[in-house]
Amino acid sequence: MEKMKTVFSGIQPSGNLTIGNYLGAMKNFSKFSEDYNTFYCVVDMHAITVRQVPAELRRRTYETLALYMAAGLDEKKNTLFVQSHVPQHAELGWILDCYTMFGELSRMTQFKDKSAKNAQNINAGLFTYPALMAADILLYQTDIVPVGIDQKQHLELARDVAIRFNQIYGDTFTVPDGYISPDTMKIMSLQEPTAKMSKSDPNPNGVVYILDSKDDIMRKFKRAVTDSGSEIRYSEDKPGVSNLMSIYSAFSGKSMEEIEREFDGKGYGDFKLAVGEACADGLSKIREEFAKLIADKAHLDEVMKCGAEAAFYHARKTMSKVRRKIGFVN
Ligand code: TYM
């Protein structure tokens, strides 16, 4: 019998999660729950590469875990855990730092963007972030990593590092592949449809959060920037409308052609209302589930604890192999 494949992904608890995080990543996570060995991590160690308010980081760590569960990840079928609870992430992160080149890290576009945004705090962790991300993935001998397109460059680096390590020491790490959903790999800001929708966007009108109320969602979609002309058509020269169509399609299950037909002869106003409704409907169940889960801290603590124990078991196995290969005394 073929060995069950492993899936790993992570989300930073560095801000309120957006529908970009949901459609680009989280929504895909549950597809793997049944037939794969799945690890979904709240990557708090990555979050501190940018200054965080400690109480908020702690709160968001719980919230991110609760959102995983509210979005359909059953803690019995998936290993749900917090990165800093499994010390092997830091351990392998350091080791992989020594197999990741300065030049490679210098080319990372996320590093360049974040350095520009945090000019007063360009710390070493921000720079070596992709090596820690490689450690997250390689620790579990991961086959598949579901992410949005913005993580593709980091994922390729993780592959390169795995291949390099395997070449030096013989087969040690599984070389992972990305799973990037083409229709939702990059959800754009509603105010600036050429920029990615992001947790840290200073303009809240451009960002729809998973936990926004229906009123907020409707208001944001009503105000969404569209393009010149009045047609509802998916095309490169219509980034605003195309982004709204992607969101509508993801929440309603309708194809782009169906959407074009549905709004043939209708204006942007009707269209934006429909997108808002579909989004609010799609998120309402998650919001309800989330409210129940977040009210029960003891249960979340228990989930974190069990998840960390399960993750630890696998991480330790990989680490013992790595330590032996590189010549550390056991
Ligand atoms: P993060 O926390 O920025 O985002 C979490 C996930 O959401 C996706 N995403 C989007 N997808 C589509 N449209 C958007 N506008 C959008 N915004 C965010 C991201 O691609 C990501 O999949 N470095 C990672 C966290 C990480 C990780 C890992 C991921 C750490 N270790 C190991 C996978 C495997 C990050 O910053 O994601």
Indicate whether 20 pLDDT > 90: yes
Query: What is the residue whose two structure tokens read 């056991």?
Result: 330
pLDDT tens-digit map of 185-239: 999 999 999 999 999 888 889 999 999 999 999 999 999 999 888 899 999 999 9
CA atoms of 28 and 208, how far apart (whole Å): 18
Q: Which atom of ligand 1 is nearest to the CA of 21?
A: 7
Which pLDDT score, from 0 to 100, does residue 204 have? 86
**pTM of the entire structure?**
0.97
Average pLDDT of the segment spanning 163-189: 96
Q: What is the DSSP string of 193-225?
A: TTSB--TT-S-GGG--BTT--HHHHHHHHHT--
Question: What is the dihedral sign for C-alpha 214, 217, 222, 226?
Answer: negative
Span 64-104, pLDDT tens digits? 999 999 999 999 999 999 999 999 999 999 999 999 999 99
- Quote the pLDDT of residue 200: 87
Alpha helices (H) along 98-238:
102-106, 109-117, 124-139, 152-169, 214-222
Ligand 1 pocket, residue 75 CB under 6 Å: no
Average predicted confidence (pLDDT) for the chain = 96
Q: What is the average per-residue pLDDT within 12-36?
A: 96
Give the rounded percent of residues in the chain with a pLDDT score beyond 90: 95
Residue-level pLDDT at 1: 65
**What are the C-alpha distances in Å from 17 to residues 20, 84, 106, 238, 252?**
8, 20, 28, 26, 20
The answer to whether the CB of 11 is under 6 A from ligand 1 is yes
242 Cβ closer than 6 Å to some ligand 1 atom? no
- Cβ of 150 less than 6 Å from ligand 1: yes
Q: What are 174's two structure tokens?
A: 């599984």
Cα(324) to centroid(ligand 1), Å: 32
**Residue 285 known to be catalytic:** no
Helix, strand, coil: what percent of the chain each, to 5? 55, 10, 35
SS3 category, 77? coil
| List of domains in the chain | 6-185+297-326 (3.40.50.620), 204-291 (1.10.240.10)
257-279 mean pLDDT: 96
Q: What is the pLDDT of residue 2?
A: 77
**pLDDT score of 72:** 96
Stretch 161-184: mean pLDDT:
97
What SS3 class is residue 148?
coil
> 27, 114, 220, 238: which is the annotated catalytic residue?
114
Average pLDDT over residues 175-184: 95
d(CA 120, CA 241): 37
pLDDT digits (tens, 9 = 90+) for 31-41: 999 999 999 99
